[in-house]
Structure 1
Amino acid sequence: MKLEELVNNNYDKLNENDRYIWKYICNNKRECCRMSIDELAKECNISRTTISRFTQKLSLEGFGEFKVRLKLEFAENDNIKDNSVEEVYQDYYRTIKDMKDKDVLEICRMIYRAKHLFVYGTGNVQNAAANELKRHFISVNKFFVTLHGEAEIDMVLDTATEEDLIVIISLYGEKKSAVEHMKKVKAKNIPSISITKLSDNPIARLCDQNLYIITKQIKIKDVVTCENVGQYFILIEMLFLKYITYLGQLKEESTIL
């Protein structure tokens, strides 16, 4: 599990100092890869014990394990050639590998048990991904209602219960209106799944389960900037395939019983 994902999953445990440490590390990853715990504590103007507790809140043994993970992830990102096409290849590869290795059992259970299924995309590409999710799952009698616009979301939030499920697809996970909606989802204890870029973002922190695409902004000839988001569709297809496997396991278990 990536460090960003660990932070999102354990965000409620983090206090103001912990969040400051993480922000400093995110802004200075190269330097932090070489720092000792005492040097990092000095830079953040806090005690080494506070840093050690921060890493333990992420379900790590301590700063040593945190630093090893940080170095590996930084080296993985830094090893990509200075070539836009190669960067796109690497993003696809990393998204596929992470999804292949990810345990999605709880996500499959949530989809299987939900009485009503809803999916909401925060932009044009995200809406297309939402429709792709709907297209795949309808073949196994799981119908996702795609939500368009704030009025539809508000209407669903008025009636949705703990027996339902809401999937939100976003890129940065920071759109203000979407964050406010997910706060309401969390307050009503409606099960939720986010699909966002792999980053420390508020929407992922508010959801019960998270899926991530790995992408970055790419400059073409220092003029055109684009964000590669084709991984949404690969991730959704892989989730669907894992869900089919889950259904097969349920069938085998019921046969044995």
Structure 2
Amino acid sequence: MFTGDVIASFNELETSLYNYISKNSEKVVYMRIRDLADETHVSTSTILRFCRKLKCEGFSEFKVKLKMYLDENEEVNIKSSQYVMSEFVERTKNGHFEAALLDAASLIVQSDNLIFIGSGSSGILAEYGARYFSSLGKFSMYVKDPYIPIHANYLQNSTTIALSVSGENRFTVSHLNELKQKGSNIISITNNKHCTIANMADINISYYVTEEWYKKSNITTQIPVVYILEETARKMQKLTEQSE
């Protein structure tokens, strides 16, 4: 609600008003303009100028927008990791889930190159996945820079593992399209199978946990992704041993 540009435009009195509102937001939404003026020792005209800088017609509209802002940022009840794990473990008992892991492992065994892509927290896990698979004998690389150039001569007989909670990250979709066009096999790991990245993949592994948000940040657990990566890598290693 209070952007950096707007705050920078405040004069001394408006800055004092801003500081008071920031510390007493819950109280301000129920105050009259005269009450706020008395509390902050500024005129009602100063308050109205302050409201106009926030693109509000008057104090009443400002209070409505402030209440909406407070509601959006209200504390949420974050689930414990124990609950999330039990929710996921129930889904792993599905035979289709295990079959998808085995199919992914088989495809990786047949590939010469393994590439991980992702953005944000999925980018961090892409790096982890590349390290874990490399530790089990399959040299892997990861891409989390959305602007890195991709050259076809490194993609012969390759498999790309795309990580995304929503399955709609535009940078990952763009990279995946380029990799797919250049002949790389695609394995996607997403929260559900009804998304763009899952539809682009040869094999999709979906983990279906409840998405969680905290102050506009996606805090959906990544524990299932770590399990999928490690379990697939272990299956790959066993299949490799059996084929030798």
Q: For this structure pair, what is the TM-score category when the shorter chain's length is used for normalisation?
A: 0.5 to 0.7
1:211 equivalent in structure 2: 205
CA distance in 1 between partners of 2:91 and 2:124 (Å): 19
8 A Cα contact 1:162 1:191, kept in partner: no
| Structure whose CA Rg is larger | 2
Task: Please state how far the C-alpha of 1:130 moved relative to its aligned partner.
Answer: 1.5
Task: Please state how far the C-alpha of 1:232 moved relative to its aligned partner.
Answer: 1.1
CA deviations on 1:3-27 (whole Å, 9 max, x unpaired) are: xxxxxxxxxxxxxxxxxxxxxxxxx
CA distance in 2 between partners of 1:189 and 1:92 (Å): 33
What secondary structure does 1:165 align onto? strand
2:79 equivalent in structure 1: 84
Query: Structure 2 vs 1, CA of residues 140 and 218 (structure 1 numbering), >3 Å: closer, same or farther?
Result: closer
CA distance in 2 between partners of 1:111 and 1:231 (Å): 20
> Residue 190 of structure 2: which of 177, 188, 196 is its match?
196
1:235 equivalent in structure 2: 228
CA deviations on 1:31-54 (whole Å, 9 max, x unpaired) are: xxxxxxxxxxxxxxxxxxxxxxxx
Of Structure 1 and Structure 2, the greater helix share is in 1
**Structure 1 residue 186 and structure 2 residue 180: aligned?**
yes
2:104 equivalent in structure 1: 107
TM-score by length of 1: 0.55
> Residue 122 of structure 1: which of 119, 124, 135 is its match?
119
CA distance in 2 between partners of 1:183 and 1:161 (Å): 13
8 A Cα contact 2:118 2:172, kept in partner: no
The one-letter code of the counterpart of 1:164 is: S
CA deviations on 1:79-111 (whole Å, 9 max, x unpaired) are: xxx993474133331354348632434322322
CA distance in 2 between partners of 1:190 and 1:223 (Å): 34
8 A Cα contact 2:101 2:228, kept in partner: no
8 A Cα contact 1:118 1:147, kept in partner: yes
CA deviations on 1:155-207 (whole Å, 9 max, x unpaired) are: 22443434122111111110122222222233233211111112400011111
CA distance in 2 between partners of 1:232 and 1:158 (Å): 28
CA deviations on 1:106-130 (whole Å, 9 max, x unpaired) are: 322322222222111121x212222
CA distance in 2 between partners of 1:149 and 1:162 (Å): 21
What secondary structure does 2:142 align onto? strand
1:142 equivalent in structure 2: 138
Query: Structure 2 vs 1, CA of residues 144 and 109 (structure 1 numbering), >3 Å: closer, same or farther?
Result: same
CA distance in 2 between partners of 1:162 and 1:225 (Å): 35
What secondary structure does 1:215 align onto? coil
CA distance in 1 between partners of 2:164 and 2:78 (Å): 26
8 A Cα contact 2:104 2:232, kept in partner: no
8 A Cα contact 2:105 2:233, kept in partner: no
Task: Please state how far the C-alpha of 1:134 moved relative to its aligned partner.
Answer: 1.8
What secondary structure does 2:165 align onto? coil
CA distance in 1 between partners of 2:169 and 2:240 (Å): 34
1:250 equivalent in structure 2: 243
CA distance in 2 between partners of 1:162 and 1:120 (Å): 17
Query: Structure 2 vs 1, CA of residues 104 and 87 (structure 1 numbering), >3 Å: closer, same or farther?
Result: closer
**Structure 1 residue 163 and structure 2 residue 160: aligned?**
no
The alignment-based identity, stated in percent, is 19
Q: CA RMSD in A?
A: 3.0
CA distance in 1 between partners of 2:84 and 2:127 (Å): 24
